[in-house]
Amino acid sequence: DQQVKQNSPSLSVQEGRISILNCDYTNSMFDYFLWYKKYPAEGPTFLISISSIKDKNEDGRFTVFLNKSAKHLSLHIVPSQPGDSAVYFCAASGTGANNLFFGTGTRLTVIP
Amino acid sequence: EPEVTQTPSHQVTQMGQEVILRCVPISNHLYFYWYRQILGQKVEFLVSFYNNEISEKSEIFDDQFSVERPDGSNFTLKIRSTKLEDSAMYFCASSGVGGGRGELFFGEGSRLTVL
C-alpha cells in the first residue's frame, strides 16, 4: 500500500542545471508535505515543507510545488550543485495523524 | 546544533534474540518516533510516542516490538524475538510539534542484521 510514490529511482543532472524531483500521493487526506534529503550512513534531513493551503514554497535554491488536483508535488533545485547528490524522500501527513508516510526515494546525482 | 543520537550504530544478532536500540532525542522535543528502512526500500513508519504512551503505530509494529522512555532522555525500541526480516536500518526521530506538522529530526540510524 504505497500512499506516496516516487516513480523515478534515480536522476542525473549537470551542475548548474535544474533538478526536478517528482512525487505523487494517493491519499486525499494528506495536507502537509515534506522533502527530506539523505546521505549514505546518515539519517534523513529535513529540506522543505508545504501545506496544502499553498501551491508553492521557496527556500533558497529549493522550491516545492504542490498540485492538489493532480495529487502531485515536485522539488526544484536550481542551480544544482555536486553537494546536492543524495537520496531525496518525499513525505506526507494528514490532519490528526502523528506520522509521516515516505516515498521510496530518488537518488540525485549532480555531475560536476 | 542539537541532534538525535542513536546506539548502537550496527548490531548483529541471531534470529530469536532480543535487541534493544537506543535513542537520545533532542532535549526539548516531546514527540518521538521510530522508522525503519529495509535495504533498497522506502522509509517505513513504526511508531510514534507522546506523553509516555504510544500515540500511533503501524501494522509492522506487532507484539514483538515495544518502546519505552525509561528516563528523561532515552527512548528505546525493543524487538523481543528477532526475525530475519527485521534486518533493516532503524531510525529514531523527534519533533517539537506533533500531528506530522513539524520537522522530524532523525538520528543517523542503527543498522540491525539478523542472522
Q: What pLDDT is stored for residue B39 in this prediction?
A: 86
Tens digits of residue pLDDT in B50-64: 888 998 899 999 999
- Chain B: give the shortest CA distance to residue A14, in Å: 25
Over range A6-23, report the average pLDDT.
96
Residue A106 has what pLDDT? 95
Least Cα separation, residue B44 to chain A (angstroms): 7
Out of A43, A44, A98, the one facing B100 most closely (by C-beta) is A98
| φ/ψ (deg, to 5) at B10 | -150, 130
pLDDT digits (tens, 9 = 90+) for B64-109: 999 999 887 899 999 999 999 999 999 999 988 765 666 788 999 9
pLDDT score at A98:
66
Backbone angles phi, psi at A71, to 5 degrees: 50, 55
Residue A11 has pLDDT above 90, yes or no: yes
Supply φ then ψ for residue A25, to 5 degrees: -135, 155
Collect all residues of chain A within an 8 Å Cβ-Cβ radius of residue B39.
none
Residue A95 has pLDDT above 90, yes or no: no
Which among B42, B100, B107 has CB closest to A99?
Answer: B100
Position B102 scores a pLDDT of 65
- Cβ contact, residue pair A43, B56, below 8 Å: no
A45 lies within 8 A of chain B by CB: yes
Residues of B in contact with A34 (CB under 8 A): 103
Given this model, what pLDDT does residue B103 score?
79
Mean pLDDT of chain A: 92
Separation between Cα atoms, residue B99 and residue A53, nearest integer Å: 16
Interface contact B106-A101, CB threshold 8 A: no
Calculate the dihedral angle through the C-alpha atoms of B70, B74, B78, B84, rounding to the nearest 10 degrees. Answer: -170
Higher pLDDT, B39 or A26: A26
- From residue B22, give the alpha-carbon distance in Å to each of B2, B13, B28: 17, 15, 18
Number of A–B residue contacts, CB under 8 Å: 66
